[in-house]
Structure 1
Amino acid sequence: MTKLDATDLPAPRARRTTALRGGANTELIAWLFMRISGVILLVLVFGHLFVNLMVGDGVHAIDFAFVGGKWSEPFWQVWDLLMLWLAMIHGTNGVRTIINDYAERTGTRLVLKSLLYLAFVVTVVMGTLVIFTFDPCPPGSPADLLPSFCAA
């Protein structure tokens, strides 16, 4: 067993970059993003909850027609898209940090981060497609199943 002395360890405040965690600027940007996106997400989520739960008939009014009516307006499409993208990037960045902190082997870290990024891409692509291709009034549907705002 070898003994460590002070010359073997880097100075605690020494600037260093590692392949594991990216450059110092990458981590600073990620740290800043987490703070800024967290504040924006608070506004988006509480606005979403207020509109869905407090305005109108509250939670009892949430059904297919409610969502269809909201997503027929570009404002709500952009609102929900921002909420989806920011939440996914924010969460993925947080889990990436946890993987970097706790996965000791490079191979394990690579597999976990690959699965994380794959889940991110699938969720964001599918969510974005749903938000922008959602049609509450599909052609050929029975009139009694369509929301009231659809032209029969």
Structure 2
Amino acid sequence: MDLWGGEQADDICLQAEFNNTSNTENSENARRSKRQRLNMVKAPGFNLIQTVFGGMAKIFYKKNLNLCPQYQQFLDETKPELINLLVELVSENAIKFGLKLEGTYSVPHTIIEENRSFKTSARSLVIGDINDLSNIIDEEFAKLLNEEEVYRGKGSNCTMDTVDGL
């Protein structure tokens, strides 16, 4: 006989542990923001979802509308659109850009879902970089995929449910 309540108690403990984590990706505000972002974007491609500082900083989001099941496939599909967007933006002014790849993971044998994001540092881009933009994007994508691989290697045992967007 299990004195601690069996599987149901284990699930409750796991849920409490994940709810009390300091991980900001799974805070209620972060979940709400992600939900709003996903609900806001209905059109394919990169959508301008926010501007700040009088339009000097812009946030674009591409939702995984084609339901690509893997990060690499989603990034491969996204690359030409990202290059076009960056060319358009850098032709107006030098820019700094960073990438944030979002996904949803589940903890095996529970109902717990976790939001995860993998980010790059801000990188400067000037008009002279346009000819090397494909290589620059490949480097940034490699950083994102490496960060995801490190996360999986930490023994979280989470499985990816969906690629949400970039």
TM-score with structure 2 setting the length:
0.30
Higher strand residue share: 2
Max radius of gyration: which structure? Answer: 1
Higher helix residue share: 1
